[in-house]
Amino acid sequence: MFVLITNYVRNSGWPNSQCMPMKCTIFVQLWLVQLFSDHVTSHIVTAEVRTCISVSVFCVCFCVCVTLFVWLWLLLWVVFTMANQLLVGPMPNPALFRDWSFNRFSSLVLVDRDTSIQWCQDVGLLPSRKQCPNCRLDMPICNTRAQGAGRVTCVGKAFRCQKAVYVGRARPHDVEISLARGTWFDKSKLPMELVLSLTYMMAHGESYEHIIREARTLDVDDPQHLSSETVADWYMYFREAVLESILDRFRTRGPIGGPGATVEIDEAKIGHRKYNRGRVVDGHWILGMIDRQTGEVRVEILPNNDRSAQAMLPLIQQHVLPGTTIMTDEWRAYHGLPAAGFGHLTVNHSLHFVDPQTGAHTQNIESTWRHMKRKICRGGVRNADQQLDLHLAEFLWRRELDRSGASPFIDLIGLIAQLYSGN
Ligand SMILES: [Zn+2]
């Protein structure tokens, strides 16, 4: 073979040949030959050829090194990605939030502004796209012009459309619409990471003190510092959203009960307690209805604390289907129920808890009152009188979540996204 190659090299006119592919082929062949025997090649390989061979060897080694480096980089990338998936998990899947601690939420969602915005768009808290009102084209997202000069804007991004020429019939324009407009973050002076943290903690019913303490540990730009007044304001927005959602659910589901079903009804006084000789002297009368089969509760505040039949019967008719068997105590306002198309059984509480003849009792609704009073009257609620409807709504919302096992945060995010879609 060596002789063949030697002859081939000589016949090809090496090194005077100008044909580059030919030269390259010969380089490789010579290099191979040299690998096997220096002795064979020594008499045909000139100094120039030796230099060429060295350059070729260097090039081949360089290519091999580059290839190895690329492969190593790819391998490391795959390993790091897999490790990241294993350690941190995939990007926030709302369904998994029930098991998420606040630290996990903040380490995944509150990493930086772009991640927070992306997550909010995924769950519907911020709009993903908006059409320009002038030219009807999709508007790109950019930093808002209001940002800077020490001003804290909640989201800091806006949809912006800049057209220097006519687009169809639309004149040249420069339109900016805040990303936060019409959303949960609208008009907030807090940075959005703080609003998200607040939302998470309110959904889990954390106290003002806990929220303020946790907010201080967050690495967010908050020149105003979260005060308990601000937390109180946000809790009110949260309860307003919950109230809207509860009323909407009531409307969608329609009245409770029905023929064959049993509903317990009772009134209770709830609100601010003034301990005047051990008596509740201030508060509101509320009317509660519970469907024994489904466990669903409806609550209404009685206008002007009026416990008469005229005040209560329309509310009962609004929430309970005709034909339902209603169980109450012996308060006289309930005496008109049979005439209104309901079955009616009573229990005399001064004698027994359960009526020995009919088996009628109102223990489910009374147990609900106990839970409600524990939450609303002793839960550090200072102004339950003014915001009783909001507190009742929060109680009913949490009660439903406890029964269904759903995540409070995901439920809250869902109802906020529905109320404040920003579109
Ligand atoms: Zn436009």
pLDDT at residue 31, as a whole number? 63
Kindly state the DSSP code that residue 421 receives in the 8-state scheme: B
pLDDT at residue 28, as a whole number? 64
pLDDT reading at 280 higher than 50? no
Kindly give the distance from the C-alpha atom of residue 139 to the centroid of ligand 1, in angstroms, as a whole number.
7
Residue 280: in which H helix or E strand, if any? Answer: strand 279-280
pLDDT reading at 315 higher than 90? yes
The whole-number average pLDDT for the span 173-180 is 91
Kindly give the distance from the C-alpha atom of residue 146 to the centroid of ligand 1, in angstroms, as a whole number.
19
Kindly give the distance from the C-alpha atom of residue 163 to the centroid of ligand 1, in angstroms, as a whole number.
6
Kindly give the distance from the C-alpha atom of residue 160 to the centroid of ligand 1, in angstroms, as a whole number.
8
More confident residue, 387 or 265: 265
Residue (of 350, 342, 345) closest to 322 by Cα position: 342
- Top-confidence range, 32-41, 86-95, 157-166, 370-379: 157-166
Kindly give the distance from the C-alpha atom of residue 125 to the centroid of ligand 1, in angstroms, as a whole number.
24
pLDDT at residue 279, as a whole number? 46
Distance CA(15)–CA(26), nearest Å, equals 10
pLDDT at residue 330, as a whole number? 92
Q: Which residues contact 198 (CB under 8 A, 6 or more apart)?
A: 190, 211, 215, 226, 231, 234
Distance CA(297)–CA(308), nearest Å, equals 21
pLDDT at residue 300, as a whole number? 93
Residue 370: in which H helix or E strand, if any? Answer: helix 363-378
Kindly give the distance from the C-alpha atom of residue 169 to the centroid of ligand 1, in angstroms, as a whole number.
11
Kindly give the distance from the C-alpha atom of residue 130 to the centroid of ligand 1, in angstroms, as a whole number.
10
pLDDT at residue 407, as a whole number? 86
pLDDT at residue 30, as a whole number? 63
Kindly give the distance from the C-alpha atom of residue 149 to the centroid of ligand 1, in angstroms, as a whole number.
27
The whole-number average pLDDT for the span 16-41 is 59
pLDDT in tens, 75-106: 998 887 787 666 655 555 555 555 678 888 88
Kindly give the distance from the C-alpha atom of residue 178 to the centroid of ligand 1, in angstroms, as a whole number.
15
pLDDT above 70 coverage of the chain, percent: 78
Kindly give the distance from the C-alpha atom of residue 173 to the centroid of ligand 1, in angstroms, as a whole number.
7
The whole-number average pLDDT for the span 284-299 is 93
Kindly give the distance from the C-alpha atom of residue 147 to the centroid of ligand 1, in angstroms, as a whole number.
22
Kindly give the distance from the C-alpha atom of residue 138 to the centroid of ligand 1, in angstroms, as a whole number.
8
Domain coordinates of the chain in residue numbers?
2-73, 127-179, 257-386
Residues with CB under 5 A from ligand 1 (ion): 132, 134-135, 161
> Among 95-109, 222-236, 324-338, which is the least confidently predicted range?
95-109
Kindly give the distance from the C-alpha atom of residue 184 to the centroid of ligand 1, in angstroms, as a whole number.
25
Q: Which segments of 93-227 does DSSP mark as H helices, in order?
A: 102-109, 113-123, 192-203, 208-217
Mean pLDDT, the chain, whole residue set: 82
- CATH number for the region 257-386 comes to 3.30.420
For residue 51, name the pLDDT band (cuts at 50, 70, 90). confident
Kindly give the distance from the C-alpha atom of residue 181 to the centroid of ligand 1, in angstroms, as a whole number.
18
SS3 62: helix
The whole-number average pLDDT for the span 338-352 is 92
Q: How many CB atoms lie within 10 A of CB 420?
A: 19
pLDDT in tens, 227-240: 889 999 999 999 99
pLDDT reading at 304 higher than 50? yes
Kindly give the distance from the C-alpha atom of residue 87 to the centroid of ligand 1, in angstroms, as a whole number.
44
Contact 102, 142 (CB under 8 A): no
pLDDT reading at 382 higher than 60? no
pLDDT in tens, 180-192: 999 999 988 888 8
Q: How many CB atoms lie within 10 A of CB 11?
A: 8
Strand locations in 101-188 (E): 141-143, 157-163, 173-178
The whole-number average pLDDT for the span 167-183 is 89
pLDDT at residue 380, as a whole number? 46
Kindly give the distance from the C-alpha atom of residue 165 to the centroid of ligand 1, in angstroms, as a whole number.
10
pLDDT above 90 coverage of the chain, percent: 48
Q: Which segments of 218-346 does DSSP mark as H helices, in order?
A: 228-253, 309-319
The whole-number average pLDDT for the span 330-354 is 92
